[in-house]
Chains A and B, each alone.
Chain A
C-alpha cells in the first residue's frame, strides 16, 4: 500500500511539472526550461510506474518504448517546419488512438468503470479519425468540399453513435463496444471532412482538446489523478486556442462545423483597377521608408519566403536604417502560431514580431505595409462594409499605412472567398508573383 501512496505522490509531482511546463511557455526565455520540466515529469511518472508495477512482459514494453523513441525523435528531427501543422495533426490523432487502445484493453480486461472508459474511447476515436482526415487535408492530398448532405450525414452518424452508446451503457457487452468505437471513428471523419482549409487551425485546436479529454476519460476509469490533471490541461489548452482562433475569425465553432464556406461574392471586380508596381518601385519605397511592417500569411509558408524576408529585413535595417516590424494575425497560416515559428526558423528576432493588438496602432505611422501571401486577415471590408461576410472580424489595419504593397499570386479572393477592396485602394500597389521570388527580386534591387 505504501508503494501505491508513493506512486500517487509521484504522479502528483509529475502533474505539477506539467503545469509548470505549460507555464514556461508564457515567455520565449522560459519556454525551453518549461519543455525540460515536462520531460522530467514524464520520465518520473513512467519510471515510477515501471518500478512499482511489475509486468510479465517487460521486454515487450521496453521494445514498444524504444521503437516509439526512435521513430518519434527521428520524425521530430526530420519534419520540415512548414509541415509542422501536419505533424501536430498526426500527434493529436496518435494521442486519441492511445486513449482508445487503453480503453479497449480495459473493457476487455475488467468489466468495471465501463461508462468512464467509454467516454475516453469515444473522444479518443473521434480525435483519431478526425486528425487523420485533418492530416490529409493539410497535406493537400485530399480536397473535400462540403457536399450537400454533409450535415444530414453528420446528424445520422451522431444519432447512431448515441444509440450505440446507450446500448453499451445498458448492456455492457463487448460487441456494443466495437459498434461504439466504429461509429465514433466514422463520426470523427465525417465531422472533419467538410471543414474548410482556412478553418484548419481551429479544427486542429479542437482535435487537440479532444485528445486531452480522452485522457481524462481514461483517468476517471482508472482513478488516476495524473491522467485527469494532464488531460484537463491539454483539453483547456486546445479549447482556449480554438476560442482565440474563432474570435479572430469572427466565426463560431458551429459555423465552422456545419455551415457552408462563405460564397464568393459577385462583385464588379472587372470595373476596378488594381495598380501594379514594378520590383524597382517596391524596392524604392522600402528603402526610403522609415517604418515598414511586414504582414505574412499562408503564402509565405507555402513558398518558404521566410529566409528571403529575413534577408530583406537585414538589408533594410542595416543599409537604410529602416525600422522593420512583423505583424501576425492569430489565424495566419494553418495552425496557431505557425507564422511565428517560421519567422523564428529564419532567425527573425522575436522581439520584432507582434500580435494583432500590439501592432495595429503602429500602421498609422508606417510608411509601407508589406503584405506577403496574406489576404483575408487584412480585408478592410471587415471594418467598413456591414454586408461583407467578413464584417466584424478583427483585421490587421494595413490600410492605414501610407503605402500597402501586396505580394500575391493573383487578384483572386482569399480562402473566405471574399474580395478584398484594399486591392483597389489608392495607396495599394500589387506585386504579382511567388512570395519568395518577388522578395528575392526586391533584395537584388536594394
Chain B
C-alpha cells in the first residue's frame, strides 16, 4: 500500500474522529477516555503479526507476546471499566 493512500486514510480518520468526538456528551467524557483506551488496544493486531513472524523463541517473540499481553490489558480493562461506568448511567426505571 502506498504511503499516500495511508496518509489519506489517516487524514480522513482524523476528521471523522473530530466530528464523532465533538458529539460526545460532556457527562460521558470519562467513559470516552476508557472506551478510547480500549480501542487503542487494537495495536494488538500489530503484536499478533509480529508474534506470527517469529520463527523461533527469541527476544523479538518475547517482545511481541508482551505487547499482546499489554494491548490485551488495555482491551479487557478498558471495555470492562467502560461497561461498569456506563451501567451507572442507566435510567433508574430500567433497574427495577
Contact = CB atoms under 8 A, between A and B. Distances in A.
B61 A60 contact: yes
Interface in A58-100: 60-61, 64-65, 67-69, 71-73, 75-77, 79, 81, 84, 87-88, 91-92, 94-95, 97-99
Contact of B86 (A31, A41, A54): A31
A23 B20 contact: yes
A77 B84 contact: yes
Contacts of B68: 61, 64-65, 68
A212 B40 contact: yes
B43 A227 contact: yes
Contact of A341 (B38, B50, B83, B85): B85
A235 interface: yes
Given A54-B52, A64-B69, A236 B45 contact: no
Contacts of B86: 28, 31-32, 35
A73 B52 contact: no
**Which of A67, A212, A335 gathers most chain B CB within 10 Å?**
A212
Interface residues of B, number: 81
A127 to B, nearest CB: 10
Contacts of A215: 40, 42-43
B74 A95 contact: yes
Given A60-B65, A98-B43, A234-B36, A25 B76 contact: no
Contacts of B77: 71-73, 75-76, 87, 91, 94
B88 A98 contact: no
SS class, residues of chain A in contact with chain B: helix
Interface in A315-348: 328, 330, 335-338, 340-341, 344-345, 347
A68 B77 CA distance: 8
Contact of B26 (A19, A91, A330, A335): A330
B21 A22 contact: yes
Contact of A211 (B25, B40, B52): B40
Nearest to A229: B13
Contacts of A65: 68-69, 72
B39 A225 contact: no
A39 B79 contact: yes
B74 to A, nearest CB: 5
A204 B30 CA distance: 11
A214 B88 CA distance: 31
A307 interface: no
A394 interface: no
Contact of B80 (A31, A34, A76): A76
Nearest to B7: A220
Interface in A152-182: none
Interface in A228-256: 228-238, 240-241, 244
B44 to A, nearest CB: 6
Interface residues of A, number: 108
Contacts of A55: 48, 51-52, 54
Contact of A92 (B27, B37, B61): B37
A101 B59 CA distance: 11
Contacts of A101: 47, 63-64, 66-67, 70
A230 B40 contact: yes
Contacts of A330: 26
A220 B17 contact: no
A443 interface: no
Contacts of A230: 39-40, 42
Contacts of A222: 46, 49
Interface in A206-230: 208, 211-212, 214-216, 218-220, 222-230
A11 B39 CA distance: 13
A26 B29 CA distance: 10
Q: Which 9 A-B pairs have the closest CB atoms?
A: A68-B72, A236-B17, A72-B76, A337-B29, A76-B80, A336-B29, A72-B77, A337-B30, A232-B13
Interface of B: 1, 3, 6, 9-10, 13-14, 16-18, 20-57, 59-61, 63-92
Given A61-B48, A341-B85, 16 more contacts: A35-B82, A42-B38, A46-B45, A53-B49, A60-B61, A64-B68, A68-B68, A68-B76, A75-B77, A75-B80, A94-B70, A233-B20, A234-B37, A236-B17, A347-B88, A350-B27
Interface of A: 11, 14-15, 18-19, 21-23, 25-29, 31-32, 34-35, 38-39, 41-42, 45-46, 49-50, 53-57, 60-61, 64-65, 67-69, 71-73, 75-77, 79, 81, 84, 87-88, 91-92, 94-95, 97-99, 101-102, 104-106, 108-109, 204-205, 208, 211-212, 214-216, 218-220, 222-238, 240-241, 244, 328, 330, 335-338, 340-341, 344-345, 347, 349-350, 353, 355
17 contacts: A31-B31, A38-B35, A38-B39, A45-B42, A56-B52, A72-B76, A84-B30, A102-B50, A211-B37, A214-B43, A225-B6, A229-B13, A240-B21, A244-B29, A336-B30, A337-B32, A338-B30
